[in-house]
Every structure is written in C-alpha cells, then in structure tokens.
Amino acid sequence: MRLKTSLLKEPKHILYFLNLIKHKELVSCVGWTTADELYSCSDDHQIMKWNLLTSETTRVVKLPDDIYPIDLHWFPRSIGGKKQSHAESFVLTSSDGKFHLISKLGRVEKSVEAHCGAVLAGRWNYEGTALVTVGEDGQVKIWSKSGMLRSTLAQQGTPVYSVAWGPDSEKVLYTSGKQLVIKPLQPNAKVLQWKAHDGLILKTDWNSVNDLILSAGEDCKYKVWDSYGRLLYSSQPHEYPITSIAWAMDGELFAVGSFHTLRLCDKTGWSYALEKPNTGSIFNIAWSMDGTQLAGACGNGHVIFAHVVEQRWEWKNFEITLIKRRTMEVHNVINDAVDLLEFRDRVIKASLNYGHLVVSTSLQCYVFSTKNWNTPLIFDLKEGTVSLILQAERHFLLVDGGGLYLYSYEGRLISSPKFPGMRTDILNAQTVSLSNDTLAVKDKADEKVIYIFEALSGKPLGDGKPLTHKTEIVEIALDQKGLTSERKIAFIDKNRDLYITSVKRFGKEQKIVKIGTMVQTLAWNDTSNILCGIQDTRFTVWYYPNTVYVDKDLLPKTLYEKDASEFSKNPQIVHFVGNQITIRRADGSLIHLNISPYPVILHEYVSSSKWEDAVRLCRFVK
C-alpha cells in the first residue's frame, strides 16, 4: 500500500499587494466537507475551497487581518441517525484567543472570546452536541453547540497543544507538556495521566472505532497507545519533530506529517509508505470521509493531496491489487492470468473470500465470482460510504453510517438487523462477526453484551436476550461450519481470556467456558470448526473446541501448540484458510504457517457421516 501525492505547482495561499508582490504564507489547517471538497485556511487570512473533481480552487472568504487561523473542524455530519450529505458549518480557532463559528459560505456566524492567548485547537464531539477548545493559557473548555461556555474541564500552567474526544464523547484527551491526560467530563471521575514523550507533545488523536490513541512529539517520534495508556508502538526518531498525525475514519490506517515528510502507517504502528514531498512542515492532516485520500496543510503555502493506492487482497490462488483509484488488477498465481477490473467511481472498500470479490465504490456495490471476472453483479447503494464488508460462504454484510445490510451473492437484500442505540460507524472486524446463519455484534454502549441475530430474518436469536459476559469484551468470532443448532461464538475479554459458548440458548443458561488465557488474536477456519489463536508465547490451534461440552479433560488432547517467539510482539492473525494461517507481525511482515491437514479432513468426514473413513484416517495417523 502506498500514497500517491499531488501538489499544485503554485501555492494558492498568496497575498496580493497593489503592485502584486507575492507573499507565500503557511497553511495552518485543512478540513473536508464531502469526499471531494476541501477547505483550507492560511496565515494570509484567506479560506480557500478546493474541488478535486474539477480541480478548481476558489476563495471562500478573506478573514479580518487580525485573525490568524490555527485549527479548523467541521461540524459532524451524522446527527441523531440522520446523515447529511455534507457538512454545513465549521469552527475555526485563531491566535487572538477567539473561536469562530463559520458557515459553509464563509459567513462568520459567531465569534467567542475563549482563551487568553491563542486557541490552539477546537474539536466537535461525535454527536455535535459539544465543542472542546484548548489554549496557550493551559485551559481546556467545553462549549455548547451555540458557543455558550458549559465548563472549564482543566487548568494547567503550560499550553495545551492538542485535544481529542473519546469514542463515547464522555472523555477528553489532551496534552500537557510531555504528558498525555484523559479526563472524563463527570466530576470526581478518575483522571488518567502518563508520560508519553521525551519532548513536548504537539499532536494527538483518538479513534472511535479501534479506541487507540496516537501521539506525536518534538522528540521526533510518534507512538500508538491503547485507551488505558499502555504503549503499543513507538517509532524510531525522525530527523525533525512530528508536526501532525491523524487517524483515518475506520481506524485501519493513520498518517504522520513532518518536515518534507508524509508517512502512511497501519493501526499497529508499522509504516506502509514514506513520501518526501516538497512541502515544508505539514502542520495538519485531514482524512476524507471515505478514507481513500488525505490532505495536508503545508508550511510553504501548499496543500498536499494524497490517495491511498496499491491495497492488496489475497485468497487461495488469487492476488488482487488496487492499481489506480478505479482499477483493480487480478492475478491468478497458478496460470499467471491477469484480469483488469474497471469501476465507474473510486473504490472505497473491498473484500475477497469464499470465492467472491465484493467491492464497494462511492455509489455502487460490485460482486465478482472468482470463476468469472467479466460479468460482475452490480447494485446501487442506498446510504453513503461503506465502512466494513464481511463475507460468509452464502452471503455478505455491508456496514455504513445508516445500518447493517445483509446481501446474498446474487445481490438480493436479505435482512437489515437493528438493536437499540446501534452505532454502526464504530463497528470493525473485531466487533462484528458473520456466519451462514448468524450475525453477532458487540454493543458499544455496554461492552459486556453481544447481540446475536438470525441472518435470514434479521431478528434476534432465540428468546431475544443478548449474550452477557461478566467483563468487557474485546473481540468476537463466530464459527463458520456445522449445524445451526451447534453454532458457537468465541470471544476475548479485557483480561485477554478466551471463552467459547453456544449461540442458541433454549431457555436454560448455556455455560460460557474458558478455553485459553492471555490470547491476543484469534480466527476460525473457513471450512471447518477449528480455532487458532496466539497465547502469550505460544501459537495454539484448538482442533475441536466443542470438546468442552463433551468432556473438559479431553480438551488438552485436541490442542496443537507451537512456540510463537518468532512472531515478535503483538502479532495479528490475518486469515485461516484451508490449513494455512497468515500472521502479520508487529513490523508489518507476513508469515505463513501450515498446520496438519488431517484434522480438516476428519471434520469433513464427520460432517458428511463417513464414519468408516474417519476411523480409517485416525488409524492411519495414529
């Protein structure tokens, strides 16, 4: 995966005097209104609008000469389930201690005296009900939507350079010199504070989907933290301080900006690509709504645009690469056949599994069969941007800001499950799981709860009560094969314990059985109910997890264990297809592991009731 960057030849933020001497001024902040329209503000007091479809740049408004803009944030688009197609107004913070609420047309609706000294950052919460500002005076203030002061959350002796809302909009993360502070809005709640860098922290960001925190500092490093303040990744020192850092919406990627430097990184920290554009320092990075491109505010008056290209998907003998924004290349490694797939709009998300490639563009969804790349099935998408595609053998799930939609591979809408307080914009592959007959979703409001739906009807399974655990759940996964009545769900909780339980509950409480500890990542096999995971220092395969319902003492006899020290810290299982397991190490490299093919064959014999063949196989393998 890499970034394709583009800079316009002449910097657009230029002051004209009477005799037209050009002043190049730095661009301080950028923000997207739609997937193709960007606003930028500069020290030349101008707000510019960039249209990427027509490549036009227009001046929206010239601000008064005493307003030097510092930060800009558009009002969130999805309010109370209603999703507007574009943002209508934004907050602009400036060096004179005020913040300004400005409409899309450039009219300043309101200016509010907020801090002594410059207002260094301003951020709307996810619902658009509150605004947080931070300033050189060391204060963190919460404001109402209309700009009335609600509370002063914190006061300290040093400037606060950056601020971010927690995923549930109930906590605020801000910088305090070399420290990061997470402070809940409730009074008397516990404040979390830790030393994060050896130099001043310049930027921070908190993602609502994966709950991870980024920080960037004058010690020339960027770091990834979890929401408890545990360090997950620390970069090597760069040549220059890191001046900007930002998550993509879906939490899979983030971008890092420094002097003449733009980096694209995976959520676990390792770097996909490094660009060295001629930009000066990049002071601010904004991702577009669909996560396909980003813009950077550059110190030399440029605005840099970068598209994410060359993502890759693999399944069995197929390798698919997004070579341009609207073109995919399919490579069959067995016979070296190459097919090109062209799309009308740009590709936003794709998934390749179970013999099908599902691609969502900005307006349509394409379903290809791996047997025939020439005739895709195409249908229009109702809502906007798809944030997640999950596949099972018989159908696939599309997730967007409006809901969950289950489609058959023929393109028929099967069902659209709902539960109270559902927020679909923060679901990812760890918190939602699909099998042929069941869909499981982890609730964000109460993280101990998993909602389980019947796939075909979209109604809650059984008596309609969700599955409840005693501690918060981190990751869930449904098994893919076997009878519906024996469907199992495996999940990892906050203490990294692995549990398995049956999905169907007929009145009686089904027991939740613990089958592993210190599990970092897990995956079910695609063709038989074999589970693999990485426990502490061991890679473990549970050949028949259902043993726990027969005789617990037999479980250790059905395990395969292997030393996992070669995978380094924090590895992730990417997929488990056939008897091959793909693992992504913390440095981004992929490792392929093969397990014994016999358990898979045995599962197939048993499911098709070939008992004699099964016994023969067991004797052969002893």
Residue range 393-447, pLDDT digits in tens: 999 999 987 889 999 999 999 999 998 888 888 889 999 999 999 999 998 888 9
For residue 59, the one-letter residue type is R
Q: What is the DSSP string of 1-29?
A: -EEEEE--SS-S-EEE-TT--EEE--EEE
DSSP bridge partners of 397:
390, 406
346 phi-psi bin (left φ>0, alpha ψ -120 to 50, beta other): beta
What's the pLDDT at 80? Answer: 42
Q: Could you read off the pLDDT of 597-621 as tens digits, one per residue?
A: 999 889 888 888 889 988 998 888 8
Share of the chain above pLDDT 90, in %: 71
pLDDT at 509: 60
Q: Is residue 553's pLDDT more than 50? A: yes
Provide the domain limits for residue 271. Answer: 2-79+90-309
Residues contacting 513, CB < 8 A, separation 6+ = 499, 500, 501, 548, 549, 552
Q: Looking only at Cα atoms, what is the longest distance across the chain? A: 95
When pLDDT is cut at 50, 70 and 90, the band that residue 14 belongs to is: very low
Which CATH number does the domain housing residue 165 bear? 2.130.10.10
CB contact set of 55 (below 8 Å; sequence gap of 6+): none
What is the percent of the chain where pLDDT is above 70? Answer: 95
The pLDDT of residue 376 is: 95
Are 80 and 74 within 8 A, CB to CB? no
**Kind of pairing between the strands at 261-266 and 271-275:** antiparallel
Asked if the structure places residue 195 within a domain, the reply is yes
**pTM of structure:** 0.91
Using one digit for the tens of pLDDT, what is the confidence trace for 73-118? 999 876 444 555 567 899 999 999 999 999 999 999 999 999 999 9
- Residue 438 counted as domain residue: no
Res. 17: pLDDT tops 60:
no
Q: Is 227 inside any structural domain?
A: yes
Task: Provide the pLDDT for residue 398.
Answer: 95
CA distance 5 to 2: 10
In a domain, 125, yes or no: yes
Establish if 305 belongs to a structural domain: yes
- Bridge partners of 390, per DSSP, are 397
Please give the single-letter amino acid code of residue 341: L
pLDDT at 20 over 50: no
**Which H/E stretch holds residue 619?**
helix 611-621
Q: What is the pLDDT of residue 7?
A: 76
Q: What is the 3-state secondary structure (H, E, C) of 216-262?
A: EECCCCEEEECCCCCEEEECCCCCCCCCEEEECCCCCEEEEEEECEE
64-78, 341-355, 508-522 — which is least confidently predicted?
508-522
The answer to whether residue 544 sits within a structural domain is: no
Tell me 281's DSSP state.
B
Quote the number of domains for the chain: 1
Residue 153 within a domain: yes
Q: At 151, which amino acid appears? A: S
Contact 283, 244 (CB under 8 A): yes
CA distance 518 to 273: 32
Sheet with 303-309, strands from edge to edge, namely 2-6, 303-309, 293-298, 282-287
* DSSP calls for 438-473: EEEEE-SSSTTEEEEEETTT-PBSTTSPPEE-SS-E
Query: Residue 78's pLDDT is what?
Result: 63
Residue 377: inside a domain, yes or no? no
What is the model's pLDDT at position 18?
A: 28
Contact yes or no for 83/401 (Cβ under 8 A) = yes
Q: Is 156 left (phi over 0), alpha (psi -120 to 50) or beta?
A: beta
**Per-residue pLDDT tens over the stretch 187-229:** 889 999 999 999 999 999 999 999 999 999 999 999 999 999 9
